């Protein structure tokens, strides 16, 4: 809980007392009904302070579970999914929630636009695709009788909406890839989905947020001594640690989550890595066409 100061009182709950569940009328001992899971409500939980505490917890995801999950995500990739798949769920945030929190932060502070490419990136930085994209945009401007500025604004809004949706599809693509590479009767679709959600949470939080933030601070810090390290923020330089971390995650996921031997983990991780980079390329191109079609 984030707001422990509301809970200074020691636990006076009587765990030995036999109770009748208000919900299913089953007799049980303890704080929760062991048939339906209903919680025993004590008088002090109905106070105004308890209400405030609940309210604050409902609006903050920066509670113990969030931090614990992120810590595990960073320090031991694949462990969070393994623990959840093995049935230890209470200590952690739900994987889907973690993914959407990562998503939320990414769109809040977009250091890099790899998932929500700007019209500028689409029409200038993407080689062959950019030439076609530029021609399409020019045609659209004439057809719609709008200025570049107006079109850009509409494009940005629609592209942001769509990329949030398409990110879910990226997770599903990776789920299918994991399933194909690690097919076994013991692993269900849900398990492959877990590790794929963990991968994208890691990628969004670590590679797209924490790492660029650290590098940005570093560049700013050395600039005060008159050094120019701006090159570190260039796509071609920045992608080196990012690709390294992606590969690192995928290898650790094979070792920890799928319990593969290293000589299987490495080639499988390389295949996943290759398919991931290809999917991202395809995703960015698709995002352009779908955005233009749907504005």
**Nearest to Zn ion of 24, 96 (CB atom):** 24
Distance CA 285, CA 279 (A): 10
Burial of 276 (0-12, 13-18, 19+ CB in 10 A): buried
How far is C-alpha 124 from the chain's CA centre?
A: 28
Considering the rule CB under 5 A, would residue 35 count as an interface residue with Zn ion? yes
**Nearest to Zn ion of 27, 180 (CB atom):** 27
The one segment of 31-39, 57-65, 249-257, 287-295 that binds Zn ion by CB under 5 A: 31-39
- Which residue in 1, 20, 27, 36 binds Zn ion (CB under 5 A)? 36
**Nearest to Zn ion of 29, 144 (CB atom):** 29
Distance CA 295, CA 290 (A): 9
CB atoms closer than 10 angstroms to residue 279: 16
**Nearest to Zn ion of 33, 204 (CB atom):** 33
Smallest separation, CB 36 to Zn ion (Å): 3
Smallest separation, CB 46 to Zn ion (Å): 20
Smallest separation, CB 50 to Zn ion (Å): 22
- Which residue in 33, 206, 265, 269 binds Zn ion (CB under 5 A)? 33
**Nearest to Zn ion of 26, 71 (CB atom):** 26
- Which residue in 21, 102, 250, 292 binds Zn ion (CB under 5 A)? 21
Burial of 69 (0-12, 13-18, 19+ CB in 10 A): buried
Considering the rule CB under 5 A, would residue 24 count as an interface residue with Zn ion? yes
**Nearest to Zn ion of 21, 72 (CB atom):** 21
The one segment of 8-16, 30-38, 55-63, 230-238 that binds Zn ion by CB under 5 A: 30-38
Query: 3-state class of 158 per DSSP?
Result: helix
How far is C-alpha 96 from the chain's CA centre?
A: 8
Residues 6 or more apart from 120 whose CB is under 8 A from it?
none
- Which residue in 20, 23, 67, 214 binds Zn ion (CB under 5 A)? 23
Residues 6 or more apart from 213 whose CB is under 8 A from it?
109, 111
**Nearest to Zn ion of 27, 270 (CB atom):** 27
- Strands 27-29 and 18-20, by their bridges, are antiparallel
179 within 8 A of 189, measured Cβ to Cβ: yes
Considering the rule CB under 5 A, would residue 73 count as an interface residue with Zn ion? no
Considering the rule CB under 5 A, would residue 113 count as an interface residue with Zn ion? no
Using CB under 5 A, list all residues that contact Zn ion.
21, 23-24, 26, 33, 35-36, 38
């Amino acid at each position: 809980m984030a707001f422990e100061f509301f809970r200074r009182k020691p636990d006076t709950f009587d765990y030995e007392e036999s109770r009748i569940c208000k919900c299913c009328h089953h007799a049980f001992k303890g704080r929760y009904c062991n048939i339906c899971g209903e919680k025993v409500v004590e008088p002090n939980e109905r106070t105004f302070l308890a209400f405030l505490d609940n309210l604050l917890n409902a609006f903050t995801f920066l509670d113990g579970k969030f931090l614990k999950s992120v810590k595990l995500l960073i320090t031991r990739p694949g462990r969070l999914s393994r623990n959840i798949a093995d049935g230890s769920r209470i200590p952690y945030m739900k994987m889907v929630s973690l993914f959407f929190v990562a998503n939320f932060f990414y769109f809040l502070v977009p250091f890099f636009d790899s998932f929500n490419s700007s019209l500028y990136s689409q029409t200038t930085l993407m080689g062959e695709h950019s030439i076609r994209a530029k021609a399409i945009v020019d045609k659209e401007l004439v057809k719609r009788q709008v200025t570049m500025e107006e079109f850009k604004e509409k494009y940005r809004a629609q592209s942001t909406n769509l990329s949030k949706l398409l990110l879910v599809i990226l997770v599903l693509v990776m789920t299918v890839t994991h399933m194909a590479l690690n097919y076994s009767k013991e692993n269900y679709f849900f398990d492959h989905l877990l590790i794929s959600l963990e991968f994208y949470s890691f990628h969004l939080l670590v590679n797209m947020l924490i790492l660029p933030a650290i590098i940005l601070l570093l560049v700013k810090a050395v600039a005060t001594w008159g050094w120019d390290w701006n090159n570190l923020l260039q796509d071609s330089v920045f992608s080196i640690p990012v690709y390294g971390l992606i590969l690192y995650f995928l290898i650790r996921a094979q070792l920890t989550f799928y319990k593969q031997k290293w000589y299987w983990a490495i080639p499988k991780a390389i295949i996943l890595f290759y398919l991931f980079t290809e999917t991202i390329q395809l995703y960015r191109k698709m995002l352009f066409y779908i955005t233009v079609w749907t504005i």
